[in-house]
Copies of this chain bind each other. A is one copy, B any other.
Amino acid sequence: MKDEIEIFRGFIRKKGLRNTPERETIIKEIFATSEHFDVDELYLRLKRKRKKISKPSIYRLIPLLLEAGLIQEAYFEDGHFHYEHIYGDELHCHLRCLECGKTIEFKEKSLKRLEGSLAEEYDFLIKGHKLEVFGYCSKCVKK
C-alpha cells in the first residue's frame, strides 16, 4: 500500500503538480481492497469512513491515476466505468457474463508478445492493453 502512494508522489512531482491529503486518502481507499470500484461506490466508501471527499475530486484524480499506471478501466457497465488497480505489470483480462455480469479475471501472457510485435509493426510505444471476453456463464446458459 505504501508503494502506490510513493509511485503517485513521484508521478505528481515529475508532472510539476501538487499532492494533497485528499488525493492520498482516495488512493489509500482504492488500494484498501482488491475489488473493482466505480466512482460512486468509492465515494460512498469514503463517506462511510467520514472522509470529506467530494465526487469532483475523485473524478479529477482518475485521469492522473490512469496516466500514472496505477489503475485501469476494467469495463463499462450500468452507464459508467468500473476501474481496477494494477499490481505492477499484471494487467488482468476479463471474462464476463452478458446476462448476470459475473466477471472472472485471468492472465494471458501471450499478449506481451503481441504488444512487442505490434510495437514493431506499427511503430508504437505500447502502454498497455485491455482484453474482454464475453459470453454466458453456465448458470445463465441453463435458463
A interface residues, tally (CB under 8 Å): 33
Q: Which of B114, B122, B130, B133 contacts A104 (CB 8 A)?
A: B122
- Whole-angstrom distance between the Cβ of A40 and the nearest chain B Cβ: 17
Per-residue CB contact flags for chain A residues 105-119 toward chain B (1 = under 8 Å, else 0) read: 010101100110011
Contact: A124 with B95, CB < 8 Å? Answer: yes
Given contacts A76-B76, A114-B108, contact A127 B134 (CB under 8 A): yes
Contact: A129 with B132, CB < 8 Å? Answer: yes
Q: Which of B76, B110, B133, B136 contacts A129 (CB 8 A)?
A: B133
Provide the residues of chain B in CB contact with A111, threshold 8 Å.
131
Give A45 to B126 CA distance when docked, in angstroms.
Answer: 34
Contact: B118 with A141, CB < 8 Å? Answer: no
**A residues neighboring B (CB under 8 Å):** 73, 76, 81, 95, 97-98, 104, 106, 108, 110-111, 114-115, 118-119, 122-138, 141
